Every structure is written in C-alpha cells, then in structure tokens.
C-alpha cells in the first residue's frame, strides 16, 4: 500500500485522515482512533456497520471476469484508456498525482494503466474501490501499491476533495457528484460503456442482458449537473471466442447472479471452436464543471 494514496483517505466515521499503516499491519487507524481491517490479501475494508443492500459479484463471477480479461480480449480497450490517462497526466504540472478506479473489479484495467504510466515515467498513486471482496482480493494482488478499498460507490466516498487527477469508471456505477468532489479542477472522468451492438453475436447464447439503445445522450444528461463531455471515442474489437470464453462472458455479467456455471456450460455445448463476436465500447471523457 502506497503512502501517498493513504493520504487521500478519509475516515467514514469522522472524516479525519489516517495514520500511515505499519508494513504488513492488519489494521489502519484514523487520527481519531477508528480502526479498520486490512485483509490478509491487502485490501482495506472501510464498509463497516450496516453494510449495504447491494448483492456483490460472487467469487465465481469474479473468477470468470479475471480469466476472460487475462486472455487479452479487451487489451485494446486497456491500451486506449492507458493512452488517455498518460496523456492527461503529461499535461499536468503536479508531482503528486492520483488515479481513482471506481468499481475496480479485479484491478485488471488499473494494472494495465499503471504499467503504462510507469513506462511513461509517471508515478501516480492509485485507489481502487469495489463492493466485492472477492474482486478486491484479486485487485490487491494485481495492484499491491494501490490502496484497494471495500466501499459502496453510492455513498459519500472516503476520499478528500480535489485530490484525484483521473477517475476511471469501467462498467461500474457513476456517482457524479462524488466524482466531481474528489477530482482536481482540471481533472478528468473517464467512463467506459458498452455500445448497443456489444457482443451482439453471442448475446442470446450467453444470456446477456440486452443493451437496448445508445445510452450516450442519457449518460451525458445524467452527469450534466457536474460534468461536461469533452471527448468521446468508439472502439470496436473483432474477437474470436472459444466456448470457454463465451461461458466466461456469460458468467461475469449480471446473468452470473442468476445462472449456474454448469447450466451455462451445458447451453453452450453447440458452439464451434471459435465464434466471431464484436466487442463495442465507448470511452467518454468528462471534465468537472465547477471547481467549487
């Protein structure tokens, strides 16, 4: 866990900062003495007390997502994001920079982005947040220098104001007012959403929930109070997916909450060795409207 990212954290109970954790310590304490567990795997659980009503992704769903991402199918999306992040950090003049990955999942994209920033000679601190402990176990392994926190993105974020250079939101919930609060005035919010035709070729087989229409107008509208759209990039990735790949896609999405892995595999036995499919994404870059 990197100290500079720890400096961005605020205690959810009292809003004060934290003492630097001891090397290999099992808890972190705020300046007022509130203590939070650091899991053996290295992530920090700030979500104590009443918890949340949200049903987090299961261990199996997270494993499917990780296997699919590790196979490299979405590498070009990670590269495009990394390119945008490094370009943004290059434009800034500050030494201490911070990337927040909201809904970091298994941390795969953040790992790719951090590798690119390191290559560019940049050394941003990073915070990954997710509500799934199963996801964070993996994220903490992938990004040991980042601060990985169990948190509900719909709550006030446990981070100080105007500290983040970049907030990444890759298929995850968008808490516009909180993202605006934690971003520096010149900061950027990068949101990845699927386009309507995303994986259309396998949507029925994989039981993917339909992505009905292009949601960009709705996205811009939903963020309008806090952000303005500065850039929008579409990315189409032609893929060749094995039956295992299709099973992973099926299981890592919302359908994974309802289906059993064996049932899904059974449904996919008719698939050929390679099924062509097109992943279709939009990366939207927003800047905060106000610096207040």
Ligand X SMILES: C[S@@+](CC[C@H](N)C(=O)[O-])C[C@H]1O[C@@H](n2cnc3c(N)ncnc32)[C@H](O)[C@@H]1O
Q: Based on the shown chain and the rule CB under 6 A, indicate whether residue 170 belongs to the binding site for ligand X.
A: yes
Residues 159, 9: contact at Cβ < 8 Å? yes
Q: Is 238 helix (H, G, I), strand (E, B) or coil?
A: strand
- Spatial CA neighbour of 170 closest among 79, 77, 249, 251: 77
Beta strands 275-288 and 35-37 are unpaired
Q: Which does 153 bind (CB under 5 to 8 A by kind): Zn ion, ligand X, none?
A: ligand X
**Residue 74, annotated as binding a ligand:** yes
Helix extents (H) in 14-166: 59-70, 75-91, 108-119, 133-142
Q: Give the shortest CB-12-to-ligand X separation in angstroms.
A: 13
* Closer CB to ligand X, 1 or 170, in the complex: 170
Shortest Å, Cβ 199 to ligand X? 13
Residue number with the smallest Cβ distance to ligand X: 105
Site for ligand X in 97-136 (CB under 6 A): 103-106, 108-109, 129-132, 135
In the complex with Zn ion, the residue whose CB is nearer, 16 or 26, is: 16
- Which is nearer to Zn ion, 33 or 144 (by Cβ)? 33
Q: Which does 56 bind (CB under 5 to 8 A by kind): ligand X, Zn ion, none?
A: ligand X
Beta strand pairing status for 35-37 and 27-29? Answer: antiparallel
Closer residue to ligand X, CB minimum distance, 5 or 168: 168
Q: Which stretch binds ligand X (CB under 6 A): 90-98, 152-160, 226-234, 239-247?
A: 152-160
Query: To the nearest whole angstrom, how small is the minimum distance from the Cβ of residue 75 to ligand X?
Result: 13
* CB proximity list for 119: less than 8 A, separation 6 or greater: none
153 belongs to the binding site for ligand X (CB under 6 A): yes
User: Which one of ligand X, Zn ion, none interacts with residue 34, CB within 5 to 8 A by kind?
Assistant: Zn ion
Binding site for Zn ion (CB under 5 A): 11, 13-14, 30, 32, 34
Q: Footprint of ligand X on residues 171-210 (CB under 6 A)?
A: 171-173
118: Cα separation from own chain's centroid: 19
Count CB atoms within 10 A of the CB of residue 117. Answer: 21
Give the single-character DSSP code of 179: H
Q: Count other C-beta atoms under 10 Å from residue 165's C-beta.
A: 23
Q: Which of 96, 116, 119 is nearest to 165 (CA)?
A: 96
Q: Which CB atom, from 130 or from 165, has the smaller least distance to ligand X?
A: 130
When the beta carbons of 172 and 264 are compared against ligand X, the nearer one is: 172
Q: What residue number has its CB nearest to Zn ion?
A: 11
DSSP string, 81-115: HHHHHHHHHHH---SS-EEEEET-TTSHHHHHHHH
213 backbone dihedrals φ, ψ, rounded to 5°: -125, 175
Which phi and psi angles does 240 have, rounded to 5°?
-120, 110
- Annotated binding residue 106: yes
226 binds ligand X (CB under 6 A): no
Range 232-251, binding ligand X (CB under 6 A) = none
Footprint of ligand X (CB under 6 A): 54, 56-57, 65, 103-106, 108-109, 129-132, 135, 152-154, 170-173
Annotated binding site for Zn(2+): 30, 34
């Amino acid at each position: 866990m990197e100290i500079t990212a720890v400096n961005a954290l605020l205690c959810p109970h009292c809003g004060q900062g934290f003492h630097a954790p001891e090397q290999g310590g099992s808890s972190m304490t705020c300046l007022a003495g509130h203590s939070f567990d650091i899991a053996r795997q290295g992530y920090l659980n700030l979500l104590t007390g009443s918890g949340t009503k949200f049903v987090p992704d299961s261990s199996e769903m997270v494993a499917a997502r990780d296997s699919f991402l590790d196979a490299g199918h979405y590498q070009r999306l990670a590269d495009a994001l990394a390119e945008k992040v490094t370009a943004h950090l290059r434009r800034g003049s500050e030494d201490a920079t911070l990337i927040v990955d909201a809904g970091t999942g298994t941390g795969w994209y953040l790992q790719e982005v951090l590798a690119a920033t390191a290559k560019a000679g940049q050394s941003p601190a990073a915070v990954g947040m997710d509500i799934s402990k199963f996801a964070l176990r993996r994220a903490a392994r992938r990004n040991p220098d980042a601060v990985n926190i169990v948190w509900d993105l719909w709550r006030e974020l446990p981070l100080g104001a105007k500290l983040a250079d970049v907030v990444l939101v890759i298929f995850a919930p968008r808490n516009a007012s909180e993202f605006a609060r934690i971003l520096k005035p010149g900061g950027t919010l990068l949101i990845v959403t699927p386009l309507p035709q995303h994986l259309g070729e396998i949507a029925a087989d994989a039981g993917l929930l339909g992505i009905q229409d292009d949601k960009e107008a709705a996205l811009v509208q939903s963020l309008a109070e806090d952000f303005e759209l500065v850039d929008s990039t579409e990315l189409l990735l032609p893929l060749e997916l094995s039956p295992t790949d299709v099973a992973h896609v099926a299981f890592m999405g919302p359908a994974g909450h309802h289906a059993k892995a064996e049932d899904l595999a059974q449904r996919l036995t008719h698939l050929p060795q390679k099924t062509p499919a097109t992943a279709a994404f939009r990366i939207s870059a927003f800047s905060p409207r106000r610096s207040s």
